Amino acid sequence: MRIALGAAQAAADAGETPVGAVVVDPATGEVVAVGANEPIGAHDPTAHAEIVALRAAAQARGNYRLTDLTLVVTLEPCAMCAGAISHARIGRVVYGADDPKGGAVVHGPRFFDQPTCHWRPLIVGGVLAEESAALLRGFFRARRKARLD
CB-based contact 87:119 (threshold 8 Å): yes
Q: Which long-range contacts (CB under 8 A, 24 or more apart) does 77-80 make?
A: 77/48, 77/50, 77/103, 77/104, 77/105, 78/48, 78/102, 78/103, 78/104, 79/104, 79/108, 79/109, 79/111, 80/46, 80/48, 80/51
Is 130 known to be catalytic? no
Residue 141 and residue 138: Cα distance in Å, rounded? 5
Catalytic residue, chosen from 16, 50, 76, 130, is 50
* List of residues 6+ apart from 134 with CB closer than 8 A: none
Q: Which residues belong to the active site?
A: 50
